[in-house]
Amino acid sequence: MKLKKHYDTNGILTTEPDYEKVENTINNASKKMPFKDAYLRYSELRKESYDFGKQAQEIARIQPLVVDAYNKLGDDKVRKLRYVKEAIKRELINIDKSKSQDEKIAAMVKQAIEYPCRMTCQELIKIIDKAYKTVGIEAKAKAADITKWFDCKKGYGFIICEDGKEVFVHYTGIIAEGFRALNEHQQVEFVIETVDRGEQAVNVKVISVEEKEPAVTPAE
């Protein structure tokens, strides 16, 4: 019986329906429930013949993605996506018929980035690659694609070193007065610092504006 299952899961050994206990235990559990468990519980509550409206609402309040996943994708699709939140978010964008393919990719990329961005070039490529696969593009994402899908107005880009290595740079690492930004074809000097997500250029100074090798790949 599903009702008894709730009691057993929460350590309440009784077969007598005590709705107040069920409500309190489910509400407390939902606050620290992993997404998969929250989704399965929400789906169960929506299908349950008993009146568990309040519990379903509490789970929806704490993990609102559960509601869209249940209503727009359904159990089978969410299961195929392995209950992975980022994959579910991408698929929700993908089924939006009001967006073009490019708009879908841009939206997927935008939602996957935490600002200020501290990601390496390879991490950004992986994000684009996942977006491509979601919309059905078979081609692999390349470093050059970063310039198409990332917004330079956010204040970050990549410095291309003499050996071809690409190093992430954020505007906070630029030494300049007023608006801190880098343009294409500028030559710069900088220090590479290792942060949580990889290497990043800091103490960046512009030393030349000669149009030789592109110094920065702007994120736009």
Per-residue pLDDT, 2: 45
Share of the chain above pLDDT 90, in %: 27
- Burial of residue 148 (CB within 10 Å: 0-12, 13-18, 19+) is middle
Cis peptide before 116 (omega within 30 of 0): yes
Domains defined along the chain, listed by start: 2-66 (no CATH), 84-144 (no CATH), 146-218 (2.40.50.140)
Q: Which residue has the higher pLDDT, 134 or 15?
A: 134
Residue 142 confidence (pLDDT): 79
More confident residue, 24 or 160: 160
Which pLDDT band, with edges at 50, 70 and 90, does 6 fall under?
A: very low
Q: Which tens digits make up the pLDDT trace of 77-122?
A: 999 999 999 999 999 999 999 999 988 998 898 888 876 666 777 7
**What single string gives the DSSP state of each residue in the chain?**
-HHHHHHHHTT----S--HHHHHHHHHHHHTT--HHHHHHHHHHHHH-SS--HHHHHHHHHH-THHHHIIIIIHHHHHHHTTT-HHHHHHHHHHT-TTS-HHHHHHHHHHHHPPSSP---HHHHHHHHHHHHHHHT--SPP-GGGHHHHS-GGGSEEEEEPTTS-EEEEEGGGB--SSS----TT-EEEEEEEEETTEEEEEEEEEEE--SSS-SEEE--
- Tens of pLDDT, residue by residue over 148-207, are 665 555 667 778 777 777 788 877 888 877 666 677 667 888 888 887 767 888 888 887
- Beta pairing, strands 198-208 & 216-218: unpaired
Question: Contacts from 91-100 at CB under 8 Å and sequence distance 24+?
Answer: 91/134, 92/68, 93/134, 94/134, 94/135
Whether 76 shows a pLDDT value over 70: the answer reads: yes
For the chain, how long is the longest CA-to-CA vector?
Answer: 81
Tokens of 41: 């519980």
pLDDT of res. 7: 42
- Kindly report whether the global pTM for this prediction surpasses the value 0.75: no
Say whether pLDDT at 5 is over 60: no
**What pLDDT score does 51 carry?**
52
Find the helix packing angle between 85-94 and 101-112, rounded to 10°. Answer: 160
Q: Report the chain's mean pLDDT, rounded to a whole number.
A: 76
